[in-house]
Structure 1
Amino acid sequence: MSSTDELHVIVGAGPVGTALAARLAAAGHRVRLATRSGRSTDTPGVDAVAVDASDSAALSAQAAGAAVLYNCANPGPYPVWEEKWPPLAASLLRTTEVTGAVLVTASNLYGYGVAHEPMTRHTPLDPVDHKGALRARMWEDALAAHRAGRVRTAEARSSDYIGPSLPAESGLIARYGRATLAGRTVAVFSDSDHPHTWTAIDDVAATLEALGRDERAWGSAWIVPSNPPRTVREVLSDLAEAAGATLPRVRRVPRPILRAGGLVVPLLREVNGVLYQFDGPFVADGSETTSTFGVSPTQWQTVIEQTAQAWSGPGR
């Protein structure tokens, strides 16, 4: 179990890394937020530093004495994952081995592949896309190091993020939601009527904090607790109702058009590779995380109201 005034190092200042930094600082920890740019935050008690996290020597210098090292990094859009993730993941493992910090990684559900039933931490990994296979390899490498006694590690796996701090370019629901709140027709890339799990960004941060401080978590991956599944259409309707906007007008883009676009647009090709998550139910069950660590999902209405307010504002 961790104590206050420990050093906690977070790699990545996206929505999850920023939320986690604020949470840890509020708990009284010393927090170091490591990014390439070293951009600062407005959160008191958070020290922003510039470091290339794929350089294990540089990262180890910043993480010396840390109790926990959190991997909240996003090395770039899908097309660069195969190039950028392996050296970054290897550096994080080396750093935790050198410093003795616990490594806690914010991950996703891609490694499970097609969800024939609700996913739990005991569901076997069975990726159907190279991005899922990559995330599975990263976890298997970390788990092998853990079992060999070289590191202590855990992973938090979440479904698609939702929350007020989610940028417009981060995920399909952010684009769909902003279009809905602007009164535009929403061009969806897949079926909008299958149950889907959505994970609040603050709940990812809460899970990462819990996994870092509790040794019962180490050596396993855990599903981030989330609200009951909602279809894309239901989420958009919820956002519209919260904002007092008109109900969403949804138009599905034919899959052959998306495939054709993927031949010339690399990012669209990579998005095509994860649309299986919307072609049927895609549901995650984080109840074991709740029962073990006491992390519960933020009330859905709260998430929706905060998100609708943020996405309806200037610059949406």
Structure 2
Amino acid sequence: MTHHLVLGAGGVGRSTTAALVALGHTVTLASRSGRVVERPWQDTHPDAVEVVAVDASDASALTALARGAASIVNAVNPPSYMTWDTDWPPIAAATLTAAEESGAGLVIIGNLYGYGEVEAPMHEDDPMRPSGHKGRIRADMWTEALARHEAGRLRVTELRSSDYFGPGTTPRTSYLGDVVIDALLAGRPPLVPAGRADAAHSWTYVPDVGRLAARVAAGDDGWGRAWHVPTAPARTFDEAAGDVARVAGVKQRRVRVLPRPLGTAAGIVVPFMRELRETRHQFERPFVLDSELTQRTFGLAPTPWDEALAATVAARRAAKAARPAHAGAAA
């Protein structure tokens, strides 16, 4: 049994914590607020997790928390999609310092932005060719971390996923959940803000991220390179919407896509839409993650697609049913 520090209490941080605890480890789960409402480990391992508040850009605080830990899992999600340029660099620097000074291995929860505009399924050894500033930020984070690993200053790995879905995702972190599933459950046709409804796209189930993160963090064989999280075969928006309707038992509805000129125009006044311009290529052409190497190396497989959709639908229905009760209690 070893101890681990997980930074970030969103869906990935909680899934990683639950997976580590299930393997018999203990965890310090740190977030900005120090508040974690959903605790899937509580019923079975209530004493295995300590929840604390920390500023992820405070290198001294992170180093103190990391002392004695086998790993640091950076599952931080900056509060605004619009401020990555200022939010990510100090967090990346602080986690590198904490890993170096404590001796803990560093597991970076990454994404696919660094690959840029691709023409074929993505593999872990593909070069970093970012096509925008967000991709450059993520590529630079990995390049600096890997350089320190190769210099013997720390141990690091990066786990890359495509767009998330699953129980516990936070707002604006799940296209499939926020745009497709919620609309269908509400009886509305999904309206996708960018892309094409018939372009193949990979969707990564959040609990699968946590399982891989826990496996690598607690092992000795995953360091010094990137890994792709086990991910089910790609599905288009149209296919995904049909699958969700079937699994949820709701009426099938055609996916609508906001025309590109309207999305561009909206970006003039809506900052979030402006930031989407950099990544809309991911939804306008096939954007497919290949995770075969990870699956073979660690003996892991993605959660079956229908099973993952069913769990996601159930979680979103439960969250919606709980909202009125919370509102009433607050009043």
Normalising by structure 2, what TM-score?
Answer: 0.91
Q: Could you tell me how far 1:162 is from its partner in structure 2?
A: 1.3
User: Match of 1:8?
Assistant: 4
Q: Could you tell me how far 1:122 is from its partner in structure 2?
A: 0.9
User: Match of 2:64?
Assistant: 61
Partner-residue secondary structure (3-state), 1:103: strand
Determine if contact 1:40/1:47 at 8 Å carries over to the other structure. no
User: Match of 2:188?
Assistant: 184
- Once the two structures are superposed, the pairs formed by residues 275-290 of structure 1 within 5 Å of their partners are 275-290=280-295
Cα RMSD of the aligned pairs, angstroms, is 1.3
Q: Tell me the alpha carbon deviations over residues 169-227 of structure 1, each in whole angstroms, 9 at most, x when there is no partner.
A: 32322222201121112211220111111111011111111222333321101111111
From 54, 69, 74, give the equivalent of 1:71: 74
Determine if contact 1:8/1:30 at 8 Å carries over to the other structure. yes
User: Match of 1:17?
Assistant: 13
- Which one is further off, 253-262 or 214-223? 214-223
From 138, 144, 149, give the equivalent of 2:147: 144
User: Match of 1:155?
Assistant: 158
User: Match of 2:211?
Assistant: 206
From 15, 22, 35, give the equivalent of 1:39: 35
Q: Could you tell me how far 1:310 is from its partner in structure 2?
A: 2.0
Determine if contact 1:225/1:297 at 8 Å carries over to the other structure. yes
- Once the two structures are superposed, the pairs formed by residues 256-267 of structure 1 within 5 Å of their partners are 256-267=261-272
Determine if contact 1:8/1:29 at 8 Å carries over to the other structure. yes
| Equivalent pairs, count | 312
From 116, 126, 139, give the equivalent of 2:129: 126
User: Match of 1:30?
Assistant: 26
From 235, 238, 255, give the equivalent of 1:233: 238
Q: Could you tell me how far 1:115 is from its partner in structure 2?
A: 2.0
Q: Could you tell me how far 1:314 is from its partner in structure 2?
A: 4.8
Determine if contact 1:160/1:197 at 8 Å carries over to the other structure. yes
Q: Could you tell me how far 1:131 is from its partner in structure 2?
A: 0.6
- Once the two structures are superposed, the pairs formed by residues 157-172 of structure 1 within 5 Å of their partners are 157-172=160-175
Instruction: State the alpha-carbon separation in 2 of the partners of residues 107 and 62 from structure 1.
Output: 22
Instruction: State the alpha-carbon separation in 2 of the partners of residues 23 and 222 from structure 1.
Output: 18
Q: List structure 1 runs of 4+ shifted beyond 6 angstroms.
A: none
Q: Tell me the alpha carbon deviations over residues 208-259 of structure 1, each in whole angstroms, 9 at most, x when there is no partner.
A: 1122233332110111111111111111111111111000232221111111
Q: Tell me the alpha carbon deviations over residues 92-114 of structure 1, each in whole angstroms, 9 at most, x when there is no partner.
A: 00000000000001110010011
Q: Tell me the alpha carbon deviations over residues 264-283 of structure 1, each in whole angstroms, 9 at most, x when there is no partner.
A: 22111111211100111111
Instruction: State the alpha-carbon separation in 2 of the partners of residues 127 and 79 from structure 1.
Output: 17
Structure 1 unaligned regions, length at least 5: none
Instruction: State the alpha-carbon separation in 2 of the partners of residues 170 and 228 from structure 1.
Output: 20
Instruction: State the alpha-carbon separation in 2 of the partners of residues 222 and 181 from structure 1.
Output: 34
Instruction: State the alpha-carbon separation in 1 of the partners of residues 149 and 65 from structure 2.
Output: 22
From 101, 109, 114, give the equivalent of 1:111: 114
Structure 1 letter corresponding to 2:18 = A
Structure 1 letter corresponding to 2:248 = A
- Which one is further off, 6-15 or 304-313? 304-313
TM-aligned CA distance change 1:235 to 1:62, over 3 Å? same
Q: Could you tell me how far 1:313 is from its partner in structure 2?
A: 3.7
Determine if contact 2:78/2:84 at 8 Å carries over to the other structure. yes
Instruction: State the alpha-carbon separation in 2 of the partners of residues 58 and 268 from structure 1.
Output: 35
- Which one is further off, 250-259 or 100-109? 250-259
Structure 1 letter corresponding to 2:118 = A
User: Match of 1:90?
Assistant: 93
User: Match of 2:53?
Assistant: 50
Determine if contact 2:110/2:158 at 8 Å carries over to the other structure. yes
Normalising by structure 1, what TM-score?
Answer: 0.95
